[in-house]
Amino acid sequence: MKQLSIYLLGTVLAWLSCGEVTGQEKGDEVTEPEKVSVGMYIIDIHAINLSTHSYGVDLYLWFRWKNPDLKPWETFEFMNPFDPEGLVISVIYDEPKEQPDGSLYQCVRAQGLFTSKFPVNRYPFDSQKILVAIEDSQEGIEYFQYVLDTDALTLNSEVKLPGYRIHPPKAVLRDKLYETTFGDLSEPEMGTYSRVEFLVPISRPPLPGVFKSFVPILLIILSAGFALLLDPEHVEARIGLAITALLTLVAMQFTMLSGLPEVAYLTLIDQIFLISFFYVLVVIAIIVYATRVDQSGAIRGKTGSMAKLIQNGPPTAIVVTGTYLVGVAVILLVNLL
Protein backbone atom coordinates (compact mmCIF):
# COMPACT_ATOMS: atom_id res chain seq x y z
CA MET A 1 0.00 0.00 0.00
CA LYS A 2 2.85 2.33 0.89
CA GLN A 3 4.60 1.57 -2.40
CA LEU A 4 1.37 2.30 -4.29
CA SER A 5 1.04 5.68 -2.58
CA ILE A 6 4.62 6.58 -3.43
CA TYR A 7 4.05 5.56 -7.06
CA LEU A 8 0.89 7.65 -7.33
CA LEU A 9 2.61 10.66 -5.76
CA GLY A 10 5.53 10.36 -8.17
CA THR A 11 3.13 10.11 -11.12
CA VAL A 12 1.30 13.26 -10.08
CA LEU A 13 4.55 15.22 -9.61
CA ALA A 14 5.85 14.08 -12.98
CA TRP A 15 2.60 15.09 -14.66
CA LEU A 16 2.71 18.54 -13.03
CA SER A 17 6.33 19.12 -14.03
CA CYS A 18 5.62 18.15 -17.63
CA GLY A 19 2.59 20.42 -17.72
CA GLU A 20 4.55 23.54 -16.83
CA VAL A 21 5.04 26.05 -19.68
CA THR A 22 7.37 29.02 -19.28
CA GLY A 23 5.58 31.63 -21.33
CA GLN A 24 5.43 30.69 -25.00
CA GLU A 25 3.55 27.50 -25.80
CA LYS A 26 3.45 23.72 -25.44
CA GLY A 27 1.74 22.09 -28.36
CA ASP A 28 -1.38 24.14 -28.87
CA GLU A 29 -1.56 25.31 -25.25
CA VAL A 30 -0.67 28.91 -24.48
CA THR A 31 0.00 30.21 -20.97
CA GLU A 32 0.98 33.58 -19.61
CA PRO A 33 2.24 35.87 -22.44
CA GLU A 34 5.60 37.60 -22.29
CA LYS A 35 5.44 41.05 -20.68
CA VAL A 36 7.54 43.92 -22.01
CA SER A 37 7.58 47.30 -20.26
CA VAL A 38 7.71 50.30 -22.61
CA GLY A 39 8.19 54.01 -22.16
CA MET A 40 8.81 57.07 -24.30
CA TYR A 41 10.55 60.41 -23.95
CA ILE A 42 9.61 63.00 -26.57
CA ILE A 43 12.49 65.34 -27.34
CA ASP A 44 10.69 67.61 -29.79
CA ILE A 45 7.51 68.07 -31.81
CA HIS A 46 7.60 70.15 -34.98
CA ALA A 47 6.21 70.67 -38.48
CA ILE A 48 2.51 70.31 -37.61
CA ASN A 49 0.64 70.40 -40.92
CA LEU A 50 -3.15 70.28 -40.74
CA SER A 51 -3.59 70.00 -44.50
CA THR A 52 -1.58 66.74 -44.67
CA HIS A 53 -2.48 65.46 -41.18
CA SER A 54 1.22 65.13 -40.35
CA TYR A 55 3.70 66.20 -37.70
CA GLY A 56 7.34 65.59 -36.87
CA VAL A 57 8.44 63.85 -33.65
CA ASP A 58 11.90 63.21 -32.24
CA LEU A 59 11.75 60.59 -29.47
CA TYR A 60 13.42 57.93 -27.37
CA LEU A 61 11.60 54.61 -26.90
CA TRP A 62 12.77 52.01 -24.40
CA PHE A 63 11.93 48.39 -23.59
CA ARG A 64 12.52 46.33 -20.45
CA TRP A 65 11.89 42.58 -20.29
CA LYS A 66 13.15 39.35 -18.69
CA ASN A 67 13.13 36.60 -21.32
CA PRO A 68 16.58 36.68 -23.01
CA ASP A 69 15.12 35.09 -26.14
CA LEU A 70 13.06 38.20 -26.88
CA LYS A 71 14.26 41.13 -28.97
CA PRO A 72 11.41 43.67 -28.65
CA TRP A 73 13.53 46.53 -30.05
CA GLU A 74 13.77 44.59 -33.32
CA THR A 75 10.17 43.34 -33.57
CA PHE A 76 8.28 46.52 -32.64
CA GLU A 77 6.64 48.60 -35.37
CA PHE A 78 5.42 52.19 -35.57
CA MET A 79 1.78 52.04 -36.67
CA ASN A 80 1.27 55.61 -37.92
CA PRO A 81 4.34 56.82 -39.83
CA PHE A 82 3.61 59.47 -42.45
CA ASP A 83 6.60 58.48 -44.55
CA PRO A 84 7.94 55.04 -43.48
CA GLU A 85 11.04 55.37 -45.65
CA GLY A 86 11.90 58.71 -44.09
CA LEU A 87 11.65 57.39 -40.55
CA VAL A 88 15.13 57.16 -38.98
CA ILE A 89 15.51 54.58 -36.18
CA SER A 90 18.80 54.00 -34.37
CA VAL A 91 19.53 51.51 -31.56
CA ILE A 92 21.34 53.06 -28.60
CA TYR A 93 23.16 49.97 -27.21
CA ASP A 94 24.87 47.22 -29.17
CA GLU A 95 23.56 44.65 -26.68
CA PRO A 96 20.74 44.86 -24.14
CA LYS A 97 21.82 46.16 -20.74
CA GLU A 98 21.19 44.03 -17.66
CA GLN A 99 19.24 45.82 -14.95
CA PRO A 100 19.60 45.48 -11.14
CA ASP A 101 16.38 43.44 -10.97
CA GLY A 102 17.68 40.95 -13.55
CA SER A 103 15.67 42.34 -16.46
CA LEU A 104 17.09 43.45 -19.81
CA TYR A 105 16.94 46.98 -21.20
CA GLN A 106 17.23 48.47 -24.67
CA CYS A 107 16.53 51.94 -26.04
CA VAL A 108 16.03 53.29 -29.55
CA ARG A 109 15.80 56.78 -30.98
CA ALA A 110 13.36 57.60 -33.76
CA GLN A 111 13.00 60.74 -35.86
CA GLY A 112 10.48 61.36 -38.59
CA LEU A 113 6.98 62.34 -39.60
CA PHE A 114 3.89 60.66 -38.14
CA THR A 115 0.25 61.02 -39.04
CA SER A 116 -3.11 61.15 -37.32
CA LYS A 117 -6.39 62.43 -38.71
CA PHE A 118 -6.97 65.99 -37.51
CA PRO A 119 -10.60 67.02 -36.89
CA VAL A 120 -11.05 70.67 -37.90
CA ASN A 121 -14.79 71.10 -37.37
CA ARG A 122 -14.15 73.64 -34.57
CA TYR A 123 -11.36 75.55 -36.34
CA PRO A 124 -9.97 78.07 -35.28
CA PHE A 125 -10.72 76.72 -31.77
CA ASP A 126 -9.76 73.15 -32.63
CA SER A 127 -8.02 70.63 -30.36
CA GLN A 128 -5.71 67.94 -31.74
CA LYS A 129 -3.74 64.92 -30.53
CA ILE A 130 -0.12 64.19 -31.42
CA LEU A 131 -0.12 60.38 -31.61
CA VAL A 132 2.69 57.82 -31.84
CA ALA A 133 1.48 54.19 -31.77
CA ILE A 134 3.55 50.99 -31.60
CA GLU A 135 2.81 47.27 -31.86
CA ASP A 136 4.85 44.09 -31.97
CA SER A 137 5.02 43.01 -35.60
CA GLN A 138 5.25 39.25 -34.93
CA GLU A 139 3.27 38.02 -31.94
CA GLY A 140 -0.32 38.57 -30.82
CA ILE A 141 -1.52 39.10 -27.27
CA GLU A 142 -1.54 35.35 -26.64
CA TYR A 143 2.27 35.38 -26.64
CA PHE A 144 3.35 39.00 -26.24
CA GLN A 145 1.94 41.98 -24.35
CA TYR A 146 3.18 45.46 -23.64
CA VAL A 147 2.87 46.99 -20.18
CA LEU A 148 3.35 50.67 -19.37
CA ASP A 149 6.49 51.64 -17.53
CA THR A 150 6.31 53.84 -14.44
CA ASP A 151 7.09 56.97 -16.46
CA ALA A 152 5.45 55.68 -19.63
CA LEU A 153 5.45 59.04 -21.43
CA THR A 154 7.47 62.14 -20.66
CA LEU A 155 7.54 65.30 -22.76
CA ASN A 156 10.58 67.54 -22.87
CA SER A 157 9.68 70.64 -20.85
CA GLU A 158 11.41 72.83 -23.45
CA VAL A 159 9.08 71.81 -26.27
CA LYS A 160 7.20 74.81 -27.67
CA LEU A 161 4.47 74.74 -30.32
CA PRO A 162 3.74 78.25 -31.63
CA GLY A 163 -0.01 78.78 -31.81
CA TYR A 164 -0.87 75.81 -29.57
CA ARG A 165 -1.21 74.98 -25.92
CA ILE A 166 0.35 71.68 -24.82
CA HIS A 167 -1.64 69.60 -22.33
CA PRO A 168 -0.33 66.78 -20.09
CA PRO A 169 0.71 63.77 -22.21
CA LYS A 170 -0.55 60.26 -21.57
CA ALA A 171 0.04 56.69 -22.71
CA VAL A 172 -2.83 54.34 -23.50
CA LEU A 173 -2.52 50.55 -23.63
CA ARG A 174 -5.13 48.63 -25.62
CA ASP A 175 -5.68 45.47 -27.64
CA LYS A 176 -5.99 46.03 -31.38
CA LEU A 177 -8.13 43.49 -33.25
CA TYR A 178 -7.41 43.06 -36.97
CA GLU A 179 -10.56 41.87 -38.70
CA THR A 180 -8.65 39.77 -41.20
CA THR A 181 -6.24 36.84 -41.32
CA PHE A 182 -4.09 38.66 -43.91
CA GLY A 183 -4.52 35.62 -46.18
CA ASP A 184 -2.49 33.36 -43.87
CA LEU A 185 -4.04 29.88 -44.10
CA SER A 186 -2.05 28.66 -41.08
CA GLU A 187 -3.80 31.26 -38.91
CA PRO A 188 -7.54 30.81 -39.48
CA GLU A 189 -8.53 33.17 -36.66
CA MET A 190 -8.29 36.95 -36.66
CA GLY A 191 -5.37 38.29 -34.65
CA THR A 192 -5.31 40.70 -31.72
CA TYR A 193 -2.11 42.60 -30.96
CA SER A 194 -0.97 44.64 -27.98
CA ARG A 195 -0.77 48.33 -28.89
CA VAL A 196 0.57 51.33 -27.00
CA GLU A 197 -0.59 54.81 -28.02
CA PHE A 198 1.46 57.78 -26.82
CA LEU A 199 -0.68 60.93 -26.92
CA VAL A 200 0.13 64.63 -26.51
CA PRO A 201 -3.08 66.72 -26.57
CA ILE A 202 -2.76 70.24 -27.98
CA SER A 203 -5.26 73.05 -28.49
CA ARG A 204 -5.40 76.60 -29.82
CA PRO A 205 -5.77 79.39 -27.26
CA PRO A 206 -9.09 81.23 -27.80
CA LEU A 207 -7.91 84.86 -27.80
CA PRO A 208 -5.56 84.59 -30.80
CA GLY A 209 -8.34 82.86 -32.74
CA VAL A 210 -10.72 85.71 -31.95
CA PHE A 211 -8.28 88.47 -32.92
CA LYS A 212 -6.88 86.75 -36.03
CA SER A 213 -10.16 85.45 -37.45
CA PHE A 214 -13.27 87.08 -36.05
CA VAL A 215 -12.10 90.67 -35.57
CA PRO A 216 -11.11 91.08 -39.27
CA ILE A 217 -14.44 89.57 -40.35
CA LEU A 218 -16.31 91.90 -37.99
CA LEU A 219 -14.48 94.92 -39.40
CA ILE A 220 -15.45 93.91 -42.94
CA ILE A 221 -19.06 93.45 -41.85
CA LEU A 222 -19.15 96.89 -40.23
CA SER A 223 -17.71 98.41 -43.41
CA ALA A 224 -20.55 96.86 -45.41
CA GLY A 225 -23.06 98.09 -42.84
CA PHE A 226 -21.77 101.67 -43.18
CA ALA A 227 -23.11 101.65 -46.74
CA LEU A 228 -26.62 101.80 -45.30
CA LEU A 229 -25.76 105.01 -43.44
CA LEU A 230 -25.13 106.95 -46.67
CA ASP A 231 -27.95 108.92 -48.30
CA PRO A 232 -29.82 107.00 -51.02
CA GLU A 233 -28.66 109.43 -53.71
CA HIS A 234 -25.04 108.23 -53.23
CA VAL A 235 -25.77 105.02 -55.07
CA GLU A 236 -22.26 104.44 -56.42
CA ALA A 237 -20.60 104.90 -53.03
CA ARG A 238 -23.11 102.67 -51.26
CA ILE A 239 -22.93 99.79 -53.71
CA GLY A 240 -19.14 100.14 -54.08
CA LEU A 241 -18.64 99.87 -50.32
CA ALA A 242 -20.78 96.73 -50.11
CA ILE A 243 -19.18 95.04 -53.12
CA THR A 244 -15.69 95.78 -51.79
CA ALA A 245 -16.63 94.16 -48.47
CA LEU A 246 -17.92 91.09 -50.31
CA LEU A 247 -14.75 90.67 -52.36
CA THR A 248 -12.61 91.15 -49.25
CA LEU A 249 -14.54 88.40 -47.48
CA VAL A 250 -14.00 86.01 -50.40
CA ALA A 251 -10.25 86.70 -50.48
CA MET A 252 -10.00 86.31 -46.72
CA GLN A 253 -11.81 82.97 -46.83
CA PHE A 254 -9.40 81.56 -49.42
CA THR A 255 -6.41 82.75 -47.39
CA MET A 256 -7.66 81.45 -44.06
CA LEU A 257 -8.73 78.02 -45.34
CA SER A 258 -5.63 77.41 -47.46
CA GLY A 259 -3.87 75.60 -44.58
CA LEU A 260 -6.79 73.28 -43.78
CA PRO A 261 -7.44 69.81 -45.22
CA GLU A 262 -10.27 69.17 -47.65
CA VAL A 263 -13.23 67.99 -45.55
CA ALA A 264 -16.83 67.17 -46.43
CA TYR A 265 -18.32 69.09 -43.50
CA LEU A 266 -18.55 72.78 -42.67
CA THR A 267 -16.03 74.00 -40.13
CA LEU A 268 -16.85 76.70 -37.61
CA ILE A 269 -15.08 79.34 -39.68
CA ASP A 270 -16.95 78.15 -42.80
CA GLN A 271 -20.26 78.80 -41.06
CA ILE A 272 -19.12 82.26 -39.97
CA PHE A 273 -18.13 83.11 -43.54
CA LEU A 274 -21.48 81.85 -44.90
CA ILE A 275 -23.52 84.03 -42.58
CA SER A 276 -21.18 86.96 -43.36
CA PHE A 277 -21.74 86.48 -47.10
CA PHE A 278 -25.47 86.43 -46.48
CA TYR A 279 -25.24 89.65 -44.46
CA VAL A 280 -23.41 91.50 -47.26
CA LEU A 281 -25.91 90.20 -49.83
CA VAL A 282 -28.80 91.49 -47.67
CA VAL A 283 -27.11 94.91 -47.50
CA ILE A 284 -26.68 94.96 -51.28
CA ALA A 285 -30.31 93.89 -51.77
CA ILE A 286 -31.53 96.72 -49.52
CA ILE A 287 -29.41 99.26 -51.41
CA VAL A 288 -30.61 98.04 -54.81
CA TYR A 289 -34.26 97.97 -53.73
CA ALA A 290 -34.04 101.43 -52.14
CA THR A 291 -32.45 102.85 -55.29
CA ARG A 292 -35.11 101.40 -57.62
CA VAL A 293 -38.03 102.54 -55.48
CA ASP A 294 -36.63 105.99 -54.74
CA GLN A 295 -35.87 106.74 -58.38
CA SER A 296 -39.37 105.70 -59.41
CA GLY A 297 -40.82 108.06 -56.84
CA ALA A 298 -42.90 105.39 -55.19
CA ILE A 299 -41.18 105.74 -51.81
CA ARG A 300 -41.43 109.49 -51.37
CA GLY A 301 -44.10 110.53 -48.90
CA LYS A 302 -44.83 106.97 -47.81
CA THR A 303 -45.10 106.12 -44.11
CA GLY A 304 -45.26 102.35 -44.18
CA SER A 305 -42.81 100.10 -42.33
CA MET A 306 -40.94 99.18 -45.53
CA ALA A 307 -40.68 102.84 -46.48
CA LYS A 308 -39.27 103.72 -43.07
CA LEU A 309 -36.84 100.83 -43.27
CA ILE A 310 -35.51 102.03 -46.61
CA GLN A 311 -35.52 105.74 -45.86
CA ASN A 312 -33.93 105.52 -42.38
CA GLY A 313 -30.40 104.19 -42.86
CA PRO A 314 -29.20 103.95 -39.22
CA PRO A 315 -32.15 101.88 -37.90
CA THR A 316 -31.81 99.56 -40.89
CA ALA A 317 -28.10 99.10 -40.26
CA ILE A 318 -28.73 98.40 -36.56
CA VAL A 319 -31.45 95.82 -37.27
CA VAL A 320 -29.49 93.97 -39.96
CA THR A 321 -26.19 94.02 -38.05
CA GLY A 322 -27.86 92.99 -34.79
CA THR A 323 -29.49 90.03 -36.53
CA TYR A 324 -26.11 89.05 -37.94
CA LEU A 325 -24.44 89.17 -34.52
CA VAL A 326 -27.19 87.01 -33.02
CA GLY A 327 -26.64 84.46 -35.80
CA VAL A 328 -22.89 84.42 -35.10
CA ALA A 329 -23.55 83.89 -31.39
CA VAL A 330 -25.85 80.95 -32.14
CA ILE A 331 -23.21 79.35 -34.40
CA LEU A 332 -20.55 79.70 -31.69
CA LEU A 333 -22.81 78.21 -29.02
CA VAL A 334 -23.80 75.25 -31.18
CA ASN A 335 -20.20 74.42 -32.14
CA LEU A 336 -18.36 75.11 -28.90
CA LEU A 337 -20.80 73.88 -26.24
Mean pLDDT across the chain, nearest whole number?
85
- Residue 327 has, within 13 A of its CA and on its CB side, a CA count of 16
Over range 231-260, report the average pLDDT.
88
Helix (H) or strand (E) holding 114: strand 104-115
Give pLDDT tens digits for 263-316. 889 999 999 999 999 999 999 988 887 776 655 545 444 545 555 555 566 788
Structurally, the chain folds into a number of domains equal to 2
What CATH number does residue 237 fall under? 1.20.58.390
Give pLDDT tens digits for 204-228. 998 888 888 899 999 999 999 988 8
Domain stops at, among 155, 179, 204 = 204
Residue 293 lies in a domain: yes
Q: Say what the pLDDT of residue 327 is.
A: 94
Whether the predicted pLDDT of 240 surpasses 50: yes
Domain stops at, among 204, 227, 249 = 204
Q: Are residues 194 and 215 in the same domain?
A: no
Q: Are residues 304 and 181 in the same domain?
A: no
How far is it, in rounded angstroms, from Cα 233 to Cα 176?
71
Q: What percent of the chain has pLDDT over 70?
A: 85
Whether the predicted pLDDT of 9 surpasses 50: no
Range of the domain at 234: 207-336
Give pLDDT tens digits for 35-71. 999 999 999 999 999 999 999 999 999 999 999 999 9
Q: Are residues 175 and 122 in the same domain?
A: yes
Whether the predicted pLDDT of 73 surpasses 70: yes
Domain stops at, among 172, 204, 236 = 204
Whether the predicted pLDDT of 15 surpasses 70: no
Q: Are residues 161 and 217 in the same domain?
A: no
Q: Are residues 154 and 261 in the same domain?
A: no
Q: Are residues 174 and 323 in the same domain?
A: no
- Residue 97 has, within 13 A of its CA and on its CB side, a CA count of 11
Q: Which of 328, 126, 323 is nearest to 214 (CA)?
A: 328
Query: Taking the chain, what is the end-to-end CA distance rounded to the nearest angstrom?
Result: 81
* Contact status, residue 112 vs residue 90, Cβ threshold 8 Å: no
